[in-house]
């Protein structure tokens, strides 16, 4: 069986990130740096998104490298804002990080505003209401991780499925575009809006993961050509992974490329033993960072989801729910 070839982004995002952010040590500052500097997941010009994809305005990122370095030296304000609570959801954690940045830059009008009809019925929630160019803007914000199910020749976003198979990129975007971005038009939302929303868009960050035979695809399904990418392989294929060291990434550390003390990493035998025991009782894929060692520090060179050996079959069934003819 050949060695698994991990996909290499053509723009070499890892090199760029480590050059710009290699000096950042605080875990939360590094996560925020990734949210600000990583390529958007989706192509804002792709016709299927209907001009509803947002991107961070370039003027907000002027001087961001120095700002991040200063924040890394004194991260107390960020820690206080996060309240360092044990976030149950990665999406909420990412939202809070982005809200801190937007507030620091003076463009955040409101964050996490729930819209209710009566006392018990929740209509929806505004992720971000912003003041940009003297206009009120609504942003939905998503940070997503999807794996390409590669049994067929699918040409839309439903062929990217979540690690736990609960949703697809297509289903998520339909929900955002067809429902969440219409929230400002609901009568119950008007009490929260000092003026009409001039623009409603989705800011989407994340990583997409490819099996080896699809790893060279660049811009498909409306994704940006430069999106962050990794690989996925089955547990049986992990014997063919090649790296100096490895680390299992907890969910709240899925955003930025990992930077760890060497003593917190593992060799391939330890990784194999961990996964063998893990998959006895759990079917959730595991995100693994493949690391390069520099002195006492190991930095992520690539990443991939390790999935149970039956994941391909279950992923194919998930895709067929959206595409019965697949």
Which residues have a Cβ under 8 Å from the Cβ of 293 and sit 6 or more positions away?
A: 244, 245, 262
Residue predicted with more confidence, 94 or 222: 94
Give the angle subtended at the CA of 219 by the CAs of 64 and 223, to the nearest 5°: 60
Instruction: Give the rounded percent of residues in the chain with a pLDDT score beyond 90.
Output: 76
Partners of 207 in beta bridges: 145, 228
**Buried b or exposed e, range 122-139, using 16+ CB within 10 angstroms:** eebebbbbbebeeebbbb
Q: Is the pLDDT of residue 10 over 70?
A: no
When the pLDDT of each residue in the chain is averaged and rounded to a whole number, the result is 90
Q: Is the pLDDT of residue 323 over 90?
A: no
How many other C-beta atoms lie within 10 A of the C-beta of residue 70? 11
221 lies in some domain: yes
Predicted confidence (pLDDT) per residue in 141-159, tens digit: 999 999 998 765 556 788 8
Query: What's residue 124's pLDDT?
Result: 94
What's the N-to-C CA distance of the chain in angstroms? 28
How many other C-beta atoms lie within 10 A of the C-beta of residue 260? 19
Predicted confidence (pLDDT) per residue in 253-283, tens digit: 999 999 999 999 999 999 999 999 999 999 9
Q: What is the mean pLDDT of residues 36-62?
A: 95
201 vs 53: CA distance, rounded Å: 5
How many other C-beta atoms lie within 10 A of the C-beta of residue 47? 8
Give me the number of domains the chain comprises: 1
**Residue count of the chain:** 326
Q: What is the mean pLDDT of residues 4-22?
A: 71
85 vs 79: CA distance, rounded Å: 9
Query: What's residue 159's pLDDT?
Result: 87
Q: Is the pLDDT of residue 94 over 60?
A: yes
Query: What's residue 152's pLDDT?
Result: 56
Predicted confidence (pLDDT) per residue in 204-253, tens digit: 999 999 986 555 454 567 899 899 999 999 999 998 898 999 999 999 99
292 lies in some domain: no
Give burial (CB, 10 Å; 0-12/13-18/19+) of 293: middle
Q: Is the pLDDT of residue 24 over 90?
A: yes
Q: What is the mean pLDDT of residues 175-201?
A: 95
22 lies in some domain: yes
What is this structure's pTM? 0.92
Among 172, 165, 157, 209, smallest CA distance to 323 is for 157
Partners of 138 in beta bridges: 129, 200
271 lies in some domain: no
200 lies in some domain: yes
131: domain range?
13-230
326 lies in some domain: no
86 lies in some domain: yes
Give burial (CB, 10 Å; 0-12/13-18/19+) of 194: exposed
């Amino acid at each position: 069986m050949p060695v698994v070839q991990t996909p290499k982004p053509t723009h070499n995002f890892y090199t760029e990130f480590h050059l710009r952010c290699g000096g950042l040590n605080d875990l939360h500052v590094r996560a925020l740096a990734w949210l600000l500097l990583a390529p958007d997941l989706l192509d804002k010009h792709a016709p299927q998104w209907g001009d509803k994809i947002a991107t961070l305005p370039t003027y907000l990122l002027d001087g961001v490298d120095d700002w991040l370095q200063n924040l890394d030296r004194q991260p107390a304000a960020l820690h206080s804002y996060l309240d360092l609570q044990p976030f149950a959801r990665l999406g909420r954690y990412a939202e809070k990080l982005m809200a801190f940045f937007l507030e620091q830059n003076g463009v955040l009008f409101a964050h996490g505003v729930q819209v209710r009809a009566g006392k018990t019925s929740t209509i929806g929630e505004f992720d971000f209401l912003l003041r940009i160019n003297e206009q009120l803007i609504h942003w939905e914000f998503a940070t997503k991780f999807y794996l390409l199910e590669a049994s067929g020749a699918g040409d839309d976003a439903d062929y990217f499925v979540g690690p736990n198979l609960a949703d697809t990129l297509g289903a998520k975007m339909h929900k955002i575009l067809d429902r969440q971005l219409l929230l400002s038009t609901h009568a119950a939302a008007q009490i929260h809006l000092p003026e009409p929303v001039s623009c409603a868009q989705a800011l989407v960050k994340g990583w997409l993961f490819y099996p080896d035979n699809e790893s060279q695809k660049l811009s498909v399904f409306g994704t940006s050509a430069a999106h962050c990418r990794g690989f996925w392989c089955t547990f049986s294929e992990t014997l063919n992974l090649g790296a100096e060291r490895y680390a299992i990434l907890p969910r709240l550390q899925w955003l930025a490329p990992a930077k760890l003390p060497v003593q917190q990493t593992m060799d391939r035998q330890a990784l194999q033993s961990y996964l063998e025991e893990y998959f006895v009782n759990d079917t959730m894929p595991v995100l693994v960072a493949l690391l390069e060692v520099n002195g006492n520090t190991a930095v992520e060179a690539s990443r991939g989801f390790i999935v149970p050996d039956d994941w391909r079959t279950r992923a194919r069934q998930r895709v067929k729910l959206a595409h019965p003819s697949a």
